[in-house]
Amino acid sequence: MTIYAATVVDTPGDPFAGDPAAALAEDGALLVRDGVIRARGSLAALRAAHPDEAVTRLDGGLLVPGFVDTHVHFPQIRAIGGMGLPLLDWLERYALPEESKLADQAYARAVAAEFLDGLVASGTTSALVFGSHFAPAMDELFAAAGQRGLNITSGLVLSDRELRPDLLSSPETALADSADLIRRWHDRGRLRYAVTPRFSLSTSDDMLDVCAQLLGQGIWFTSHLNENLAEIATVTRLFPGSQDYLDTYCRHGLVTARSVFAHNVHPGDAELTLLAEHGASVAHCPTSNSALGSGLFPLRRHVEHGVHVALGSDVGAGAGLFLPKEALQAYFIQQLLGPAGLGLTPVHLLYLATRAGARALGLEDRVGDLAVGKDFDAVWLCPAEGSTLAVNLRHARDTADALARIFALATPADVAGVWVRGLRVGAAACPDPR
């Protein structure tokens, strides 16, 4: 057992449901045994109750829950920074040529390691990962994620039209390969499977039927939705009988409480109503939406319709794996929307980067905050002495103000430690113990 003495900050409440300040919690220490948080309170109280336990001091900065990324493409880790193009042109120029390279299993192995190490270095301990079009590449991702103990939900990406030919498969092959991956990886440790059609633009009704056949037994579902106006127009042309983009999934039974749709920048009211009715979640990816010029995410309409929203980095269209950067960009976008925007507090930002993601992935009883009984998945954000963030933290008025300075200024260089089920996996930036 270990007692961690730190400024422990999390959001056990939901800041979108009431007073944001009431959603925030702070304590001075956690007692961790076998990777699980067993007690929480002041350092004095925990030491008095457990006088024989070692104390690890994490002085300075904040200890927050491990970040939860609900939309990120592992095959695109080497393709970040493609500027100047809208979605469909960006896919053709930057993303899909790189994704094709994962047909080479050794290449996929190297990419999977770079991707997962990047997640850890950014403090992300749980993620819904958009996979590869190639089954052997998925074996590499799952194996490497299992070795690192990360909470990874992912699956083979399915497409049978519109994309470059080497990324296509038949519905029959997709069904057989996916079923085999599910059998070998789903529910193995912290790994889970997500059925993953790239988007209905690149999947026929026959392929979406295959997706429906694969659901069940705790299997998740993820895809893209309403990202870009040209994409939506193409989907409308390809599915003349559908009411809207969401209906292309819904009529196959793919909109459920275990479904996460990325983007939804341009939803209709009927789509928002349907998402809420089925308890499906939306992964908001603000740096990607900005980089591709996809649009300004209508968060207020989602919240008013009762649609659950979490954050995704959407690497490689997004500008990196560090979730606080996405949270900051989400804040910027709501500011830019003016009266149509939903003003976000620092408490909202922490919630979006942690517990909202855990809830979207059905993991809220395991991770997302640092309550007693949860896995000890945590990030210690502690800036180097003399940095602008360190100066600002010293002058923060209270915890929420400290969070605001973190979201404004923190980078992966401020990730001083990362724990996955109690095991320290991140590199130390701050000396430890100090």
Site residues (CB under 5 A) for Zn ion? 262, 314
Residue 375, strand partner residues: 36
Nearer to Zn ion, 160 or 314 (CB): 314
* Shortest Å distance, C-beta 398 to Zn ion: 36
Nearer to Zn ion, 262 or 321 (CB): 262
Three-state DSSP at 157 gives strand
* Shortest Å distance, C-beta 262 to Zn ion: 5
* Shortest Å distance, C-beta 271 to Zn ion: 18
Nearer to Zn ion, 6 or 282 (CB): 282
Nearest alpha carbon to residue 144 among 180, 86, 190: 190
Residue type, 62: L
* Shortest Å distance, C-beta 315 to Zn ion: 9
Nearest alpha carbon to residue 99 among 166, 33, 155, 32: 166
Separation CA 362–CA 68 (nearest Å)? 12
* Shortest Å distance, C-beta 95 to Zn ion: 9
Nearer to Zn ion, 225 or 379 (CB): 225
Separation CA 189–CA 425 (nearest Å)? 17
* Contact assessment for residue 380 and residue 61, using Cβ atoms and an 8 Å cutoff: yes
Residue type, 134: F
* Contact assessment for residue 269 and residue 299, using Cβ atoms and an 8 Å cutoff: no
Nearer to Zn ion, 185 or 199 (CB): 199
Residues whose CB falls within 8 Å of the CB of residue 180, separated by 6 or more in sequence, listed in order: 135
* Shortest Å distance, C-beta 224 to Zn ion: 6
* Shortest Å distance, C-beta 234 to Zn ion: 16
Nearer to Zn ion, 158 or 262 (CB): 262
Q: How would you class 165 by CB atoms within 10 Å of its CB: exposed for 0-12, middle for 13-18, buried for 19 or more?
A: exposed
Phi and psi (nearest 5°) for 418? Answer: -135, 135
Nearer to Zn ion, 169 or 222 (CB): 222
